[in-house]
């Protein structure tokens, strides 16, 4: 496929589309599947009670995530614009562009810390190749060096950002289509192998109980908010990434099944990541919910070092796994960078190359404090008065809250401002059908916004010490 007017902000008539429906599904799945699944999901699930979190997460994906995914794709394909341009087109001269602008800002901030974590995966590729993951390896010390020494942490963050910028300059879709076709099946297979290894470890059962036997007494408003936030993060929703990707979908393709496939793939991969992390974690005698952003890395390396034959198993599996993870992160970071770049290109008429470099440089600088927040600088590693490291703090504010608010506004916009009727017409543009159309209208008009508002109200109430819902 050519990278032409669409990527450089040409007029609507000549805007290019994905090569096929499959190409779109792969690209959107490439955006969705990434560190959010393999790093984010087990981290957040571990901090929020395991199985109870998983139940709420699946409900959030089905009843809130999936409808919002469809909503973003509809807005994107209808307007064929970046998020700011999309809101300008559908609601001219209104304050709704702010939602698009919030999305652009959120994308840059997420990219800043995303690249730091992706940098760790690159460092781990190197560690794996050089045979670090052998039985008895001090996995905590390995993470301590990768993330805690200022120079490598910033260095790998820079390397990853440069790669992301390079790919986005070349045209996101070309890069994405090429990578994801190989990546998705390969990642899936290696995850399957790791699941098989993890669940057969001695003591794995305790981890499976933690993951699958819900203890609903652990549920509270924070768990629900974390689950909704994690669903949006993992599905790349709430900031217009799927508006941007949807803007390249052809009117011949079916939006509903595309949204369903992407949501399904992403969820399966997240569930598998939990199946790897929790059995391993308990088998190694570690505690979930402690360890912060490094937990997944520490647990994964201790798993890799148990893979026979010694010591070459750890080398081969470790290299493959972290390489695939780094590429999965790349197809996600591309979508994060693409949103802000598309805005500069479309709305500010900046050439693609300059746009990508500018945003990438900004996100790199913004990411430096996150790179120093896992041991390199003390106060960044435990923010005074917050109790979190700087990276986790940004993840909470922008990776969860901002996406939840963004998704709420997107739902309200499509359901009550622009309207489910024109939205439905857009869905029917290919073959006149809208499977589950009524269900979608109901979810996007009532369920998604009310659930989010209820959670946010409860959260604010909690901040002030009131009790509303008992």
Per rule CB under 6 A, count of chain residues that contact ligand TRP: 16
Give CA 449 to chain center in angstroms: 21
Residue 124 CB contacts under 8 Å (≥ 6 apart), including other chains = 146, 297, 301, 318, 322
37 is a site residue for ligand TRP (CB under 6 A): yes
Number of Cβ atoms within 10 Å of the Cβ of 358: 15
Per the CB < 8 A criterion, the answer to whether 236 and 31 are in contact is yes
60 is a site residue for ligand TRP (CB under 6 A): no
Task: Using CB under 6 A, pick the residue from 7, 23, 31, 410 that binds ligand TRP.
Answer: 31
Q: Which is nearer to ligand TRP, 132 or 234 (CB)?
A: 234
Site mask, ligand TRP, residues 216-235, x = CB under 6 A? Answer: -----------------xx-
Residue 371 CB contacts under 8 Å (≥ 6 apart), including other chains = 116, 119, 150, 153, 154, 157
26 is a site residue for ligand TRP (CB under 6 A): no
Number of Cβ atoms within 10 Å of the Cβ of 464: 6
Q: Which is nearer to ligand TRP, 28 or 194 (CB)?
A: 28
- For 213-259, give the DSSP string: S--GGG--HHHHHHHHHHHHHHTT-SSSHHHHHHTT--TTS-HHHHH
| Shortest distance (Å) from residue 74 CB to ligand TRP | 17
Residue 185 CB contacts under 8 Å (≥ 6 apart), including other chains = none
109 is a site residue for ligand TRP (CB under 6 A): no
Q: Which is nearer to ligand TRP, 225 or 286 (CB)?
A: 225
Q: Which is nearer to ligand TRP, 35 or 412 (CB)?
A: 35
Q: Which is nearer to ligand TRP, 236 or 301 (CB)?
A: 236
300 is a site residue for ligand TRP (CB under 6 A): no
296 is a site residue for ligand TRP (CB under 6 A): no
| Shortest distance (Å) from residue 238 CB to ligand TRP | 6
36 is a site residue for ligand TRP (CB under 6 A): yes
244 is a site residue for ligand TRP (CB under 6 A): no
By CB under 6 A, the residues from 393 to 432 that bind ligand TRP are 403
Distance CA 200, CA 207 (A): 11
By CB under 6 A, the residues from 313 to 332 that bind ligand TRP are 332
110 is a site residue for ligand TRP (CB under 6 A): yes
Q: Which is nearer to ligand TRP, 34 or 314 (CB)?
A: 34
Q: Which two tokens stand for residue 336?
A: 């994060």
335 is a site residue for ligand TRP (CB under 6 A): yes
CA distances from 51 to 235, 283, 297, 355, 434 (A): 20, 17, 21, 43, 34
Residue 388 CB contacts under 8 Å (≥ 6 apart), including other chains = 292, 382, 396
User: Count of alpha carbons within 13 Å of 244, Cβ hemisphere only?
Assistant: 33
302 is a site residue for ligand TRP (CB under 6 A): no
Span interacting with ligand TRP, options 34-42, 119-127, 298-306, 316-324, rule CB under 6 A: 34-42
236 is a site residue for ligand TRP (CB under 6 A): yes
Distance CA 175, CA 27 (A): 9
Query: Among 329, 268, 264, 340, which Cα is nearest to 30's?
Result: 329
| Shortest distance (Å) from residue 382 CB to ligand TRP | 25
By CB under 6 A, the residues from 369 to 398 that bind ligand TRP are none
Orientation angle between helical segments 295-304 and 255-283, nearest 10 degrees: 70
| Shortest distance (Å) from residue 235 CB to ligand TRP | 6
Q: Which is nearer to ligand TRP, 234 or 458 (CB)?
A: 234
Q: Which two tokens stand for residue 237?
A: 């929703």
Distance CA 323, CA 15 (A): 34
Span interacting with ligand TRP, options 27-35, 60-68, 77-85, 281-289, rule CB under 6 A: 27-35
Span interacting with ligand TRP, options 35-43, 89-97, 153-161, 438-446, rule CB under 6 A: 35-43
Look at residue 109 and give its three-state secondary structure. Answer: helix
239 is a site residue for ligand TRP (CB under 6 A): yes
| Shortest distance (Å) from residue 37 CB to ligand TRP | 5
Give CA 430 to chain center in angstroms: 29
Distance CA 3, CA 461 (A): 49
The residue sitting closest to ligand TRP, measured at its beta carbon, is: 36
| Shortest distance (Å) from residue 200 CB to ligand TRP | 27
Distance CA 417, CA 370 (A): 38
Query: Among 359, 341, 339, which Cα is nearest to 103's?
Result: 339
35 is a site residue for ligand TRP (CB under 6 A): yes
Distance CA 386, CA 400 (A): 16
Distance CA 430, CA 283 (A): 51
Q: Which is nearer to ligand TRP, 204 or 448 (CB)?
A: 448
For 136, list phi and psi in degrees, rounded to 5.
Answer: 85, 0
| Shortest distance (Å) from residue 338 CB to ligand TRP | 9
Q: Which is nearer to ligand TRP, 32 or 326 (CB)?
A: 32
112 is a site residue for ligand TRP (CB under 6 A): no
| Contact positions vs ligand TRP (CB under 6 A) | 31-32, 34-37, 110, 233-234, 236, 239, 241, 332, 335-336, 403
């Amino acid at each position: 496929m050519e990278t032409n007017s669409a990527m450089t902000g040409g007029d609507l008539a000549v805007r290019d589309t994905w090569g096929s429906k499959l190409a779109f599904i792969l690209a959107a799945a490439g955006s969705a599947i990434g560190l959010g699944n393999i790093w984010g999901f087990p981290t957040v699930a571990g901090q929020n009670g395991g199985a109870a979190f998983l139940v709420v997460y699946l409900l959030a994906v089905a009843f809130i995530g999936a409808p919002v995914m469809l909503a973003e794709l509809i807005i994107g394909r209808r307007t064929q614009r970046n998020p700011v341009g999309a809101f300008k087109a559908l609601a001219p001269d209104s304050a709704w562009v702010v939602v698009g602008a919030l999305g652009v800002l959120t994308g840059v901030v997420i990219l800043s810390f995303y690249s730091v974590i992706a940098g760790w995966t690159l460092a781990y590729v190197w560690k794996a190749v050089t045979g670090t993951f052998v039985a008895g390896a001090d996995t905590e010390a390995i993470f301590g060096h990768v993330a805690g020494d200022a120079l490598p942490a910033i260095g790998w963050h820079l390397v990853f950002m440069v790669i992301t910028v390079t790919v986005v300059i070349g045209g996101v879709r070309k890069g994405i289509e090429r990578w994801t076709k190989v990546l998705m099946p390969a990642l899936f297979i290696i995850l399957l192998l790791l699941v098989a290894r993890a669940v057969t470890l001695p003591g794995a059962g305790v981890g499976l109980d933690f993951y699958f036997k819900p203890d609903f007494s652990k549920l509270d408003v924070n768990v629900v908010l974390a689950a909704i936030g994690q669903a949006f993060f993992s599905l790349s929703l709430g900031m217009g990434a799927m508006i941007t990707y949807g803007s390249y979908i052809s009117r011949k393709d079916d939006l509903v099944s595309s949204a369903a496939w992407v949501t399904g793939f992403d969820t399966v991969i997240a569930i598998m990541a939990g199946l790897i992390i929790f059995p391993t974690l308990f088998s190694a005698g570690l505690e979930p919910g402690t360890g912060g952003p490094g937990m997944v890395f520490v647990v994964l390396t201790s798993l890799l070092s148990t893979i026979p034959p010694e010591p070459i198993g750890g080398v081969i599996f470790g290299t493959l796994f972290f390489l695939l993870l780094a590429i999965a992160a790349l197809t996600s970071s591309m979508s994060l960078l693409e949103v802000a770049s598309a805005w500069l290109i479309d709305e500010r008429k900046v050439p693609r190359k300059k746009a990508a470099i500018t945003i990438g440089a900004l996100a790199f600088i913004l990411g430096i404090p996150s790179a120093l927040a896992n041991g390199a600088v003390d106060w960044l590693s435990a923010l005074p008065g917050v109790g979190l490291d700087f990276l986790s703090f940004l993840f909470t504010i922008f990776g969860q809250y901002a996406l939840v608010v963004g998704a709420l506004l997107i739902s309200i916009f499509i359901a009550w401002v622009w309207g489910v009727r024109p939205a439905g017409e857009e869905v029917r543009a290919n073959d006149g059908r809208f499977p589950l159309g009524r269900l979608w209208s109901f979810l996007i008009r009532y369920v998604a916004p009310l659930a989010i508002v209820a959670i946010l109200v409860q959260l604010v109430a909690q901040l002030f010490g009131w009790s509303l819902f008992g």
